[in-house]
């Protein structure tokens, strides 16, 4: 448990560090599932990154720092889902 927590913290820091390197990343936040609902399907963490444009996302995806991080990160995950979307914000 200790080593899993440590690994998770290291991965979060490495992920967050991309924010210092890859200019098109406009925000980065992450967190661990709180276990309030029972619909997590075994997933444990959320990482949420935003970009101003689809081109910015594509620059990020092909950036050497991201490619190196992603290869290392994905190799340590049991499972992963990545969704890229243009958010439609709703206001009351």
Q: Which of residues 54-83 bind a second copy (CB under 8 A)?
A: 54, 57-58, 61, 80-83
Q: Which two tokens stand for residue 89?
A: 């914000």
47 near 70, Cβ under 8 Å?
Answer: no
Q: Does 85 help bind a second copy (rule: CB under 8 A)?
A: yes
In whole angstroms, the minimum distance from the beta carbon of 1 to a second copy comes to: 19
Among 2, 34, 64, 71, binds a second copy (CB under 8 A): 34
- The tokens for 51 are 């970009």
Q: Are 53 and 30 in contact (CB under 8 A)?
A: no
Verify binding: residue 53, a second copy, rule CB under 8 A: no
Q: Per the residue annotation, which of 60, 66, 76, 91 is the catalytic one?
A: 60
Cβ-based nearer residue to a second copy, 5 or 32: 32
Q: In this structure, how many other beta carbons lie within 10 angstroms of the beta carbon of residue 22?
A: 19
């Amino acid at each position: 448990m200790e080593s899993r927590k440590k690994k998770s913290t290291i991965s979060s820091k490495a992920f967050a560090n991309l924010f210092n390197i890859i200019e098109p990343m406009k925000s980065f936040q992450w967190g661990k599932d709180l276990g309030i609902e029972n619909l997590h399907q075994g997933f444990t963490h959320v990482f949420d990154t935003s970009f101003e444009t689809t081109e910015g996302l594509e620059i990020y995806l092909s950036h050497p720092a991201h490619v190196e991080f992603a290869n290392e990160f994905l190799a340590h995950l049991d499972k992963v889902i990545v969704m890229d979307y243009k958010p439609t914000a709703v206001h009351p």
